Amino acid sequence: MGKCPASTSDPAVRFEHLPLISGPLGHLNAQRPRIMADVIRRTLQDFESGPLDLVLGESLYQERQRLKREQINLFTRGRHKADQRLWSEIQTGLLQSSVSVDRKGLLKQVTRHYADEIAGRFNPEIYKVATHAVPFAFSWFLNAASVRRFLPWGLSESLATRLSIVGEVSHLQKLAQKGTILLVPTHQSNLDSVLIGYVIYLMSLPPFAYGAGLNLFSNPVLSFFMGNLGAYTVDRKKSNAIYKQTLKNYSTTILREGIHSIFFPGGGRSRSGAIERRLKLGLLGTALDAQIEKLRNGSDKPNVYVVPMVMSYHFVLEAASLIEDFLAESGKHRFIITDDESWQSAKVLNFFWKLFSSQSGIVVRIGMPMDVFGNPVDENGASMGPNGTTIDPRKWLTTRGELRADAARDHEYTRELGERIAERFHRDNTVMTSHVVAFAFFELLRSRYPELDLYRFLRLSAEQRTLQLEGFLAYAQQVHAKLLQMEAQGELYLSQELHAADLRAWVDDGIKQLGVIHDAAVVKVAEDSVWTEDMNLLYYYRNRLTGYGGLKKTMGNCGRKGFLE
């Protein structure tokens, strides 16, 4: 794989006005009734042999619990009411004998309700408007933020330096012609969902269907755009079996129809700030299910290609509430955060303002495309095995001489795929100056208090959180040297700024960029000391470098106690 260390100066995709590409999603509206019917039929089939009373009863209980906890606002009230109505009817039905009320009918009613909630309504016209509006909006922010780049060509140039799309872009573009793409991004912020649509457009790919959290749909403007841009809803709060099965069947069906898709394989946003290591296998397995069906149907483009995508930010809008949630959960005091904080428009505006005014960048790296088993795929779409062999997916899906689905086997394949994706997430991560500053500062400070557990460590007093600048710089240099070594071994990528030879240059950049969005300074420097004003945020940004074994080993003397790794 080609290395691309100069990530921010030489992006694989440059900003310009690109033609819109139409794709299979364009026909989604026409196919919607058929797809819905198919999803409902399959879901009914999946539950056919089981005890329906039990399945419905458990789902009823779980949904009642969820509805009780749900916080209602103006935008979610309608959906909440509809849910309540449905489950009241189901309850009434379940109370009568199965002779007078058919359980299958009840199941069908629930499935239809869910399928309708999940399914997106793509509108090509709105897609056209939206993709053109986004660059204009970006330009507007840029205009306001940086007057010295007022010239039109200057505008587009500096946007390219903000958002770089690097990695296997042309590979992905070629594969999109040869099969169905399942793009699996890391997930840090609600902004990811917005950014993704734009990234797809910038890569000259046809529109993708994407699974976005239901909470994003509570904002009517966003909901209108997202829904019409091909988003379907994924509600992580619905944990009942019927919902999960319906969602899986929806994803399988659209992939089987050849519609390129995106969903976050880690589930929700990373709470700790770390790159996802454990993925949700249920939805991920739909790639394999779709490929098996396509092979059995004799489709001319049967392959599903799984493409990892890693987004790196200097700051995350909702970092504070994410890490709070993470710490609360790890400390076993579970509570549910209100999800919508990141969508307060002032905060979003502030984010974009900071993004442009601070010369901060976002790096999006497209990882090595894989087949549904996690094997690398070449540019012709063929799966590559070890020792120069080519893999025929049909053979891997043949059990006792027959090409077919096999629940136990496919679960194991998907588990392996999940591991490969998590591996690629770490390898394709672009480490930025702010991440290294946060990591070095946290680790050095941590080594001073080896006897404290994490929770007490995070409550150090203001004086205790201060380090000598000189010592910090020396330590940062050590970390940096190790990171360079790791990059040479292909374990991660470093941003362009981190290739600067001058230690102070990148450290200063990192301190400046680190969590610049927040009210408190995450790391601050004055004269000969460095300190932090917010330990939780420091921990959050430090965690971006969690899960790199090599890094942990060299920095091993830093207290292990209470580390949540």
Partner 1 sequence: MEEKAFWSKAKVAVIGAGNFGTVLASLVSKNCLQVRLLSRSEEQARAINSTRLNPSYMTKLSLAQNITAFSEPERVFEGGVQAVIWALPSQVCRQEAKVLAPYFGGDEILIHTVKGVEEGSLKRISVLLREEIPCPRIGVISGPNLAEEIGRGEPAATVVASDFEEVVAAGQALLTGDYFRVYPGHDVIGVEWAGALKNILAIAAGAVESLQLGWNARALLITRGLAEMVRFGMAMGAKEETFLGLSGVGDLLATCSSPLSRNYRTGLRLAKGESLDSILQALGSVAEGVKTTRSVREFAHAHGIDMPVTEGVYHLLEGKLSLQEIIQLLMTRPTARP
Name the site residues for partner 1 (rule: CB under 8 A): 373, 375, 385-392, 395-396, 398-401, 406, 408-409, 412-413, 415-416
Tokens 């009210």 -> residue: 519
CB of 2 to partner 1, least distance (A): 23
CB of 319 to partner 1, least distance (A): 34
Nearer to partner 1, 152 or 386 (CB): 386
**Phi and psi for 59 in degrees, rounded to 5?**
-65, -40
Instruction: Work out the angle at residue 202's Cα, subtended by the Cα atoms of residues 198 and 203, and round it to the nearest 5 degrees.
Output: 120
Q: Whose CA is closest to 430, among 513, 507, 354, 498?
A: 498
State both tokens at 14: 């440059």
User: Which letter, b or e, does each residue of 269-286 get, where b requires 16 or more Cβ atoms within 10 Å of its Cβ?
Assistant: bbbbbbbbbebbeebbbb
CB of 296 to partner 1, least distance (A): 15
CB of 241 to partner 1, least distance (A): 22
CB of 293 to partner 1, least distance (A): 19
d(CA 65, CA 440): 44
d(CA 410, CA 293): 13
Q: Whose CA is closest to 243, among 216, 212, 283?
A: 283
**Burial label, 160 (beta-carbon count in 10 A; 0-12, 13-18, 19+):** buried
Q: How far is CA 380 from CA 84, 173, 305, 371, 390, in A?
A: 50, 11, 12, 12, 12
CB of 453 to partner 1, least distance (A): 21
CB 529 within 8 A of CB 467: yes
Nearer to partner 1, 344 or 389 (CB): 389
Distance from the first to the final alpha carbon of the chain: 29
Nearer to partner 1, 416 or 470 (CB): 416
d(CA 516, CA 353): 11
Nearer to partner 1, 408 or 501 (CB): 408
CB of 130 to partner 1, least distance (A): 42
Nearer to partner 1, 410 or 428 (CB): 410
CB of 393 to partner 1, least distance (A): 8
CB of 290 to partner 1, least distance (A): 19
**Phi and psi for 203 in degrees, rounded to 5?**
-85, 10
CB of 412 to partner 1, least distance (A): 5
d(CA 324, CA 236): 19
Q: What H or E segment, with its residue span, contains residue 261?
A: strand 261-262
Nearer to partner 1, 78 or 549 (CB): 549
**Phi and psi for 404 in degrees, rounded to 5?**
-160, 165
CB of 399 to partner 1, least distance (A): 6
> How many residues would you count in the chain?
565
Nearer to partner 1, 218 or 375 (CB): 375
Nearer to partner 1, 208 or 396 (CB): 396
Nearer to partner 1, 19 or 401 (CB): 401
Nearer to partner 1, 329 or 392 (CB): 392
Nearer to partner 1, 237 or 409 (CB): 409
DSSP 8-class letter at 264: -
Task: Write the DSSP assignment of 511-542 as a string of letters.
Answer: HHHTTTTSSS-SSEEETTEEE-S-HHHHHHHH
